Structure 1
Amino acid sequence: MPRSEQQKLPAPVPAAERKGWPIQFNLLRWFSVGSFLIITVVALGLGFISTRFVVQESIERDSMLTAQFIQAIGAAEIRHASINPNRTMGEMLDPRDDNAYPDVDPGTRANARIEFLDHVEHLPDILLATVYALDRTVVWSTNPELIGVRIEDDDELDKSFEMKEAVSTSYHEIDDERPEQRLLREPDYLFIENYIPMFNADKSKVIAMVEIYKEPVDLVARIQRGFKAIWLATALGGAVIYLGLFWIVRRAATLLQSQQTQLIANETFVALGEMSSAVAHSLRNPLANIRSSAELAQEIASQSAQKNIGDIISQVDRMSRWVRELLVSLRPANDDSEAVDLMLAVDDTLSAFDALIKRSNVEVRFTPLAVEPIVSQRVLLTQILNSLFANALEAMPKGGVLTIEFDAAQAGYLSMTLSDTGKGMSAQQQQMVFKPFFTTKQGGLGVGLALVKRIMERFDGSVELTSREQEGTRVCLNFKVATGGEYGTQHTAGRG
C-alpha cells in the first residue's frame, strides 16, 4: 500500500517534552533491581535471625535439661546416703572439706560424692566434666591432668560463681589459651559449655561449680536440618514475593505506558483539532469559489489553457480531500457501537472502488463467507475500508493482486486480512506508519492509518501491518464479534 517516499509533515513534539516532564523512567527496571536488593537483604536478615534463634533456644533448652538432671542426681544421692536434708551436694564436692561438717560422716560424704560424680562422668555426649571448688581449684575432672589446677583470670567462670541462675551456657570452638579446655576428644562440630552452679542449703551462695563440655550429636543434626528448612523457606518465600510483585509492577508499568501514550496522542489530537477546525472552515469557502471559477473558465478557455485549469481543479479537489480527512480524523470519539455486517461493508466498498480497480488493472481475490456481525459503527467501518482500499490501489499503479481473507479461529474475534502486491515499506517506515501525520506518500496527509488504528482500538479491536519492500503490504484487522443481543438490532453497512 503506497506509503510513499517522504514525510511531508514533522511529527508533533510529545507533550512530555513540551511540559518538561522526565522523558523516560523505567519503572520495571528500577523495581526489579531495587526490590531484588531489598528482598534479598530482608530475607538474609530474617534467615540469620531465625537460625540464631533456633540455635540459641535449642542449646539453652538442652543446657537447662542437663542442669536439672545433674541437680536432681545430687539431691537423690543426698537422700540415698541418708545425709541431713539441710545439706546439699554442693557442700559434698570438695574432698578437702570432708571434716568440715560434723553432722555428716566423712565416709558417707565421700560415698555420696563418688556416686554423684560417677553419674556425671557417664552423661551422654560428654567431652569433659570438671568440678571447681569455691577458690576456683579443680577438685575433680574426667581429665585427671586438671585435678588440683587452680584456674585464674577466667571471666566466664567468675561470672558463673556470681550468678543465681540454674545454668550458664555457650557454644564455640576450642580455645587453646584456656587451660581448662583439655577435652578427652576433638568435637566433630561445635561443643556446648555449661556452668552448673551448686548452691548451699538456702541457695544464697554458689559453693561449687560443675562444668560440662558436651557435643550433642542429635541436637546438632536437628539444628542443621532446621537451618536447611529455614533457608529453603526463606529463599522460596523471597522468590514468591519478588515474582508476585514483579508481575504486578510489570502490568502496572505496561498500563502506565499505554495510558501515557494515549494521553500524549489525545493531547496532540485536541490541540491539532482546535487549530485544524479553524483552518478548515476558513478554507472551505475559498476552495469552493476557486473550483467554481475554474470550471466556468474551463468552458470558455482555449485548448492550450485547458490543462492548466484542469490542474487547478485537481489541486483544489486534493486540498478539499485533505480538509475533509483532517476534520474526520480529529472529530471527538463516539464510543456508541452497533453490530455491523462486515461482508456487506466490504462488498459495498469494492463496488465504490470498482472503476478505480479496473482502471488500475488490479485483480481482486475475495470470497464472501457467512460470519457473525462485528462490533463497530457503519460510518466508521466504511471510513476504515475506504482508507485501506485506497492505499492498496495506490500502491499498485501498474496492476497487481488485492487479496481479502477472513479468519474466525480466535474465539470472540473475526480477522480480516488485506494484502497487496505493491512496492511495500521499509522496516523504519513500518515503525512510524501508525503515527499521526506521518506519511511516505507524495501529497499525503498522514492521517489514514492513524485513524484506522484509533477506530479499531475504540471498539476493542486491533490492527497489525507487515510489509516488505518490492513485495507488498499485509494489513490484518481484528474485529470483536457482536454477541447475540448485546448490541441491539443488527445494522448493515452500506455505501453512504
Structure 2
Amino acid sequence: AQSQNTSLYFSEPDVKKRQGPLDDFFNRIAHMPDVVRANVYSRDRVVLWSTEKPLVGRQFPENNPELDEALRGHLALHTGRVEAHSKSEHILFAPDVEEFVENYIPIYGPGGIVVGVVELYKLPRILWETIARGQRLVWMSAALGGLFLYTVLFWIVRRASRTITHQQQALVEAEQWALVGELTAAVAHSLRNPLAAIRSSAELAAETEDVASRECLGDIIVQVDCMERWIRDLLLYSHQPDGNTQTANLSETLRQSLAGFSDRFTRQGIILQVALPEPSPRVCADPQLLRQVFNSLLANALEAMPKGGQLRVTAERRGRQLTLALRDTGTGLSSEQLAGVFKPFVSHKQRGLGIGLALARRIVQRYGGHLELHSQPSKGATAVLQLSLAE
C-alpha cells in the first residue's frame, strides 16, 4: 500500500475520484487466499472502501480496540467467532463464516502520520482443520495413553494380588507344616514304641499258634506296618528342605518303585507299559524322596483300577527339564475331588490320611519341579511330573 502511494486516496474528499483507484488496488488484496472481507478505514473510522458495498460510508466507532491500536500506528491482530454481541462491522458475513482472523494494517501518509487502516478478514480453513486434527490427535493420544496406563496398572495390581495370595497360601502352608511337625513328634514318640512291641509280640506268637491264629497275627503285623508307613509319611512331610543338591537316576529309581508294586500289578491284572529315554537321565532330587513320590503316584493309580486296567509311564526331555507322565485307565476324579488332591489331610479314601499326594508335591517343589494331576470321571487320570535335569 505504501509503495503504490495509496495513502493519497485517503485524503481525497470526492468519493468518485478515490473509489476507482481504491477498487483497482484493494480488489487485488481482497482476492488473496483465504480473504473473505476487506475494509478500508479513514482516520475518523469511516469505511472508505469494502468488498461489502453496503458498508462503504458507514462509521463504526464503538467496540473495536484493534482498530484503535492500528490508528495509533501498530499492527493489530484478532481472532474470534462471529456472534451477536461481537463487533458491529461483522454484519453481512456469510452464514458459513463462524471463525475468522482479522488483521488491521495501518497506512502511513507523508510525515509518517497514519491516514487510514486496511482491515482484512481471513478464514484460514486449512489452519483450523490442522488445529482440529491436532486436537483430535491429542485426545486420541491421551485416550490411548490412559488405556495403556490403565492396562499396565491393572496388570501390576493383578500381579501384586496374585503374589499376595500366593504368599498368604505359603504362610498358611507353613503353619500347617509347623503343626504337622509338632504332631509328628508326638505321634512318633507315642506310637512307635508300642507299635514295635505289638509287632514283635505278634511275630513271636505266630511261631507257636495254629494256622488260623497265625493268619490273624499276620493281619496285625500288616496293620502295624501300615501305621509305621503313615508315621514315616508324616515325618517326611514335616521335614524342612536342607538345601542339599542331590541327583537321582530316573530309570533306576522308578524301576525300584515299580518292583515294589509288581505283585499288585499281577494280582489286579494291570498291564504296565514303560517308555524311558536311554541313557537314563539324572534329575535333581534325593533318590529316596523321589522314590516316595513314585510310590504315592503308583499307589493312587492302583487304587483307581481295582478291576484291572492299563498304566503307561513315559518320559521325555524338554530342554533342561524332564517331564514324566503316568497315565492310568481308572475311575478318574471329579472336578471337586481334583481341586483338593494336593491339600494336606484331605482324602476321599476311607483308610487314607490325605498326605500322599501333598507329600509328593512338596518333595517335587523342594527341588524346583512341578507336579500336576489331570483327570475326568471314568476317563482315568494323568500325573505329570517335571524335574530339572542334573548337569
TM-score, normalised to structure 1, is: 0.65
2:199 to 270, 283, 291: 291
Cross-structure match for 1:341: 249
User: Unpaired segments of 5 or more residues in structure 2?
Assistant: none
Deviations 1:276-304 (CA, angstroms, capped at 9, x unpaired)? 32333333223323433444555566777
Change in Cα spacing, 1:113 to 1:369, as seen in structure 2 (3 Å) is: closer
Cross-structure match for 1:361: 269
Q: Is the aligned partner of 1:273 residue 2:181?
A: yes
The answer (yes or no) to whether the contact 2:327–2:382 under 8 Å persists in 1 is yes
Q: Is the aligned partner of 1:392 residue 2:301?
A: yes
Change in Cα spacing, 1:405 to 1:239, as seen in structure 2 (3 Å) is: same
The answer (yes or no) to whether the contact 1:375–1:480 under 8 Å persists in 2 is yes
CA drift of 1:168 comes to 2.9
Task: Find the aligned partners of 2:100 and 2:35 in 1 and give their Cα distance.
Answer: 10
Cross-structure match for 2:170: 262
Say which SS state the counterpart of residue 436 (structure 1) adopts.
Answer: coil
User: Unpaired segments of 5 or more residues in structure 1?
Assistant: 1-72, 82-88, 99-106, 487-496
Q: Is the aligned partner of 1:169 residue 2:78?
A: yes
CA drift of 1:244 comes to 5.0
Change in Cα spacing, 1:263 to 1:92, as seen in structure 2 (3 Å) is: farther
Cross-structure match for 1:470: 378
Please state which structure has a larger fraction of its residues in strand. Answer: 2
Change in Cα spacing, 1:176 to 1:142, as seen in structure 2 (3 Å) is: farther
Task: Find the aligned partners of 1:186 and 1:436 in 2 and give their Cα distance.
Answer: 82
Task: Find the aligned partners of 1:110 and 1:404 in 2 and give their Cα distance.
Answer: 108
Q: Is the aligned partner of 1:412 residue 2:312?
A: no
Cross-structure match for 1:142: 51
Change in Cα spacing, 1:394 to 1:135, as seen in structure 2 (3 Å) is: same
Q: Is the aligned partner of 1:126 residue 2:53?
A: no
Say which SS state the counterpart of residue 439 (structure 1) adopts.
Answer: coil
1:426 to 334, 339, 349: 334
Q: Is the aligned partner of 1:435 residue 2:324?
A: no
Residue identity matched to 1:170: T
1:192 to 86, 95, 100: 100
Cross-structure match for 1:76: 3
Aligned residues: 385
Deviations 1:323-379 (CA, angstroms, capped at 9, x unpaired)? 211110110013433332211111111122223333333222224430432222212
Task: Find the aligned partners of 1:94 and 1:429 in 2 and give their Cα distance.
Answer: 105
The answer (yes or no) to whether the contact 1:375–1:459 under 8 Å persists in 2 is yes
Deviations 1:194-220 (CA, angstroms, capped at 9, x unpaired)? 15263889xx99885543222124434
The answer (yes or no) to whether the contact 2:23–2:49 under 8 Å persists in 1 is no
Residue identity matched to 2:357: L
Residue identity matched to 2:313: I
Change in Cα spacing, 1:478 to 1:125, as seen in structure 2 (3 Å) is: same
Which structure's relative contact order is higher, taking Cα pairs within 8 Å and 6+ residues apart?
1
Matches within 5 A, 1:110-125: 117-118=26-27, 120-125=29-34
The answer (yes or no) to whether the contact 2:69–2:75 under 8 Å persists in 1 is no
Q: Mean alpha-carbon deviation: is it higher for 288-297 or for 263-272? A: 288-297
Change in Cα spacing, 1:391 to 1:110, as seen in structure 2 (3 Å) is: closer
Identity of aligned residues (%): 36
Backbone CA RMSD of aligned residues: 3.9
The answer (yes or no) to whether the contact 2:250–2:282 under 8 Å persists in 1 is yes
Residue identity matched to 2:193: N
Change in Cα spacing, 1:217 to 1:193, as seen in structure 2 (3 Å) is: closer
